[in-house]
């Protein structure tokens, strides 16, 4: 396989990547056939995945605008993936001239493409790090340059935590980030789940199996488990709900049930 100019040396093009699969679901071009093949298997197992990802992105954009309306202009987006239209910095900067965004990802393709897209944008930075290493994220030069942790920050864990095993203790990891955040900061997260949606737990098991066979962790969690991740944050109304139901901008279109898969919410640190 010929290596595209945007693919960093050292990236194994024979192994699927969750961020490149996500890019494929969203109609992006920064993915390889191995990613597309794995994504097609995932869609076969869990129909409607592209629609779910679009609903997830729409949730992300709404929460960014909501955070700015609440006076938060600093964003730490972990597991940010490959930038596509309407990414966090575009939405935040359109809402506030004061917006500062730090993207974090452990995928070299996502990091390299983010750096290329953001070249020259002094209000946005990119960190190559893993959510499971809070100090590497929080003490990175870009985080220190752009974020003032004495002021509120929106910690964004959008479509990330279902890639974190229970053995990695996600609640404890979130607590490490929370403890570094100023009062008034927000936790914004979305998570794969079959609770309340049209997909069965058997379909959830099937898509989990596809990701695991592709070499990636994938963990479906229920509403109570996801709500527990907000420990130390006060949930913002309407709480943890199906993706399209979190503070919709327009009347919710219920014609496509696939979009009503996955749970999301936001919480504020007292």
**Tens-place pLDDT, residues 89-147:** 999 999 999 999 999 999 888 898 888 889 899 999 999 999 999 999 999 999 999 99
Proportion of the chain above pLDDT 90, given as a percent: 76
The fold of the 55-198+221-269 domain, in CATH, is Rossmann fold (3.40.50)
Q: What's the token pair of residue 142? A: 């870009």
Mean pLDDT of 36-56: 94
Whole-prediction pTM value?
Answer: 0.92
The pLDDT of residue 116 is 83
Question: Which residues have CB under 8 Å from 200's CB, separation 6+?
Answer: 194
Whole-angstrom distance, CA of residue 174 vs CA of residue 172: 5
Three-state SS letters, 71-107: CCCEEEEECCCCCCCCCHHHHHHHHCCCCEEEEEECC
* Residue found under tokens 């001239």: 97
Q: What is the pLDDT of residue 125?
A: 96
Strand 186-191 relative to strand 124-128: parallel, antiparallel, unpaired?
unpaired
pLDDT at site 82: 85
CA atoms of 249 and 245, how far apart (whole Å) = 10
- Average confidence (pLDDT) over 54-76: 97
The two tokens of residue 234 are 């006060």
Confidence (pLDDT) at 87: 92
Q: pLDDT grade, residue 255 (50/70/90)?
A: confident
Q: Would you place residue 2 in the very low, low, confident or very high pLDDT band (cuts 50, 70, 90)?
A: low
Would the pLDDT of 1 be above 60?
Answer: no
Mean pLDDT of the chain: 93
DSSP 175: H
What residues contact residue 15 under an 8 Å CB cut-off, 6+ apart? 34, 214, 215
Is the pLDDT at 5 greater than 70? The verdict is no
Is residue 59 within 8 A of residue 264, CB to CB? The reply is yes
CA distance 267 to 265: 7
């Amino acid at each position: 396989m010929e290596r595209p100019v945007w693919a960093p040396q050292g990236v194994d093009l024979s192994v699927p990547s969750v961020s490149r699969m996500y890019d494929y679901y969203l109609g992006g071009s920064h993915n390889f056939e191995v990613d597309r093949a794995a994504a097609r298997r995932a869609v076969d197992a869990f129909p409607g995945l592209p629609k779910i990802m679009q609903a997830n992105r729409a949730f992300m954009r709404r929460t960014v605008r909501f955070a700015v309306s609440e006076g938060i202009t600093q964003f730490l987006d972990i597991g940010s993936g490959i930038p596509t239209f309407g990414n966090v910095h575009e939405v935040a900067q359109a809402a506030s001239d004061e917006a500062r965004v730090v993207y974090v990802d452990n995928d070299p393709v996502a990091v390299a493409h983010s750096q290329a897209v953001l070249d020259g944008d002094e209000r946005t930075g990119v960190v190559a790090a893993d959510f499971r290493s809070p100090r590497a994220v929080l003490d990175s030069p870009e985080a220190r340059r752009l974020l003032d942790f004495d002021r509120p920050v929106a910690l964004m864990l959008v479509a990330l935590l279902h890639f974190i095993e229970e053995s990695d203790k996600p609640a404890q990891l979130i607590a490490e980030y929370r403890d570094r955040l100023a009062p008034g900061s927000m936790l914004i997260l979305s998570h794969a789940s079959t609770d309340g949606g049209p997909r069965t737990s058997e379909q959830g098991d099937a898509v989990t199996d596809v990701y695991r066979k592709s070499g990636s962790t994938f963990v479906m969690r229920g509403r109570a488990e996801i709500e527990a991740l907000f420990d130390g944050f006060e949930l913002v109304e309407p709480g943890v709900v199906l993706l399209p139901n979190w503070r919709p901008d327009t009347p919710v279109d219920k014609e496509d049930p696939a979009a009503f898969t996955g749970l999301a919410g936001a919480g504020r640190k007292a």
